[in-house]
């Protein structure tokens, strides 16, 4: 029996499945940074589960980072819907996004980042570690959860950048069908919340669970 079969078949446990390490080397003097991601197998690793961790990271960040919530929600909503409509052909080409911190500093870019294949090419990166947890007890609210450890400092940049880096890296490493699946889940997460003003802390796993249920029913209305 495969891992996904165990989850959706009712096998009961709480386990760490995989970890996504996001390495971010941001240079405030120029307002830009370089990044790399690594997928770390843990118990019952299944690469098909990566999409759930990417989506949970997005849902966690929009639930805890109020400053950039509305803008991040909006750009994901627009691109996810476009990908759902065209079967994943668009991908996730995010537009430039910067904030002004004053004090004569240049604009600080949340996006874009220079994506590297390996973190070994980065100088001294800050690291966000997102661990996918599978809660397979049918009495619990969601099938998956996330344990997120965030490096201290530069949260105004790194927090909203982390899901963009994860989404961009994942979409570039998968095929069109994978991009479409990612887009469906992201779209349904936003649909669960309906508005950035309705997002509350601690609901990320519920949003993903709703997205998974909607996708598995196979009767999604076009956005």
pLDDT tens-digit readout, 98-147 = 999 887 889 999 999 999 999 999 999 999 999 999 876 544 545 799 99
Enter the tokens of residue 108.
């600080």
Query: Beta 32-41 vs 114-115: how paired, if at all?
Result: parallel
Question: Residue 169: its pLDDT value, please?
Answer: 98
CA-wise closest residue to 128 among 119, 139, 136: 119
Residue 13 has pLDDT above 90, yes or no: no
- What strands, in cross-sheet order, belong to the sheet with 14-27? 114-115, 32-41, 14-27, 126-135, 144-149
- Give whichever of 5-9, 113-117, 215-219 has the largest mean pLDDT: 113-117
Question: Residue 67: its pLDDT value, please?
Answer: 95
Residue 1 has pLDDT above 50, yes or no: no
**Are 20 and 28 spatial neighbours (Cβ–Cβ below 8 Å)?**
no
pLDDT single digits (tens) 136-192: 654 454 579 999 999 999 999 999 999 999 999 999 999 999 999 999 999 999 999
Domain ranges of the chain: 3-217
**Are 113 and 33 spatial neighbours (Cβ–Cβ below 8 Å)?**
yes
Question: What pTM was computed for the model?
Answer: 0.90
**What are the residues facing 125 on neighbouring strands?**
none
pLDDT range class, residue 14, cuts 50, 70, 90: low
Q: Burial level of 2, CB count in 10 A (0-12/13-18/19+)?
A: exposed
pLDDT range class, residue 219, cuts 50, 70, 90: low
Residue 50 has pLDDT above 90, yes or no: yes
Residue 43 has pLDDT above 90, yes or no: no
CA-wise closest residue to 171 among 180, 160, 161, 184: 180
Quote the CA–CA distance of 97 and 115 in Å, as a whole number.
16
> Picking from 73-77, 101-105, 194-198, which range would have the lowest pLDDT averaged per residue?
101-105
Question: Residue 147: its pLDDT value, please?
Answer: 95
Task: Report the percentage of the chain scoring pLDDT > 90.
Answer: 76
Query: Beta 144-149 vs 108-111: how paired, if at all?
Result: unpaired
């Amino acid at each position: 029996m495969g891992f996904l079969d165990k989850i959706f078949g009712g096998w009961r446990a709480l386990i760490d499945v995989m970890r996504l390490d996001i390495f971010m080397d941001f240079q405030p003097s120029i307002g830009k940074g370089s990044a790399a991601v690594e997928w770390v197998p843990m118990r019952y690793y299944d690469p098909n589960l990566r999409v759930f961790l990417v989506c949970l990271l997005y849902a966690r960040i929009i639930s805890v980072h109020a400053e950039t919530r509305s803008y991040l929600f909006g750009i994901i909503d627009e691109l996810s819907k476009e990908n759902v409509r065209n079967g994943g052909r668009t991908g996730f080409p995010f537009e430039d996004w910067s904030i002004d911190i004053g004090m004569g500093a240049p604009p600080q870019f949340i996006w874009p980042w220079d994506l590297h294949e390996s973190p070994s090419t980065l100088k001294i990166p800050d690291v966000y570690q997102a661990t996918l947890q599978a809660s397979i007890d049918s009495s619990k609210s969601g099938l998956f959860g996330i344990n997120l450890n965030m490096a201290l400092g530069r949260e105004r940049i790194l927090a909203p950048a982390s899901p963009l880096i994860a989404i961009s890296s994942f979409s570039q490493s998968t095929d069109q069908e994978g991009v479409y699946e990612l887009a469906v889940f992201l779209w349904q997460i936003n649909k669960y919340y309906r508005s950035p003003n309705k997002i509350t802390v601690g609901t990320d796993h519920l949003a993903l669970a709703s997205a998974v249920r909607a996708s598995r029913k196979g009767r999604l209305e076009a956005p």
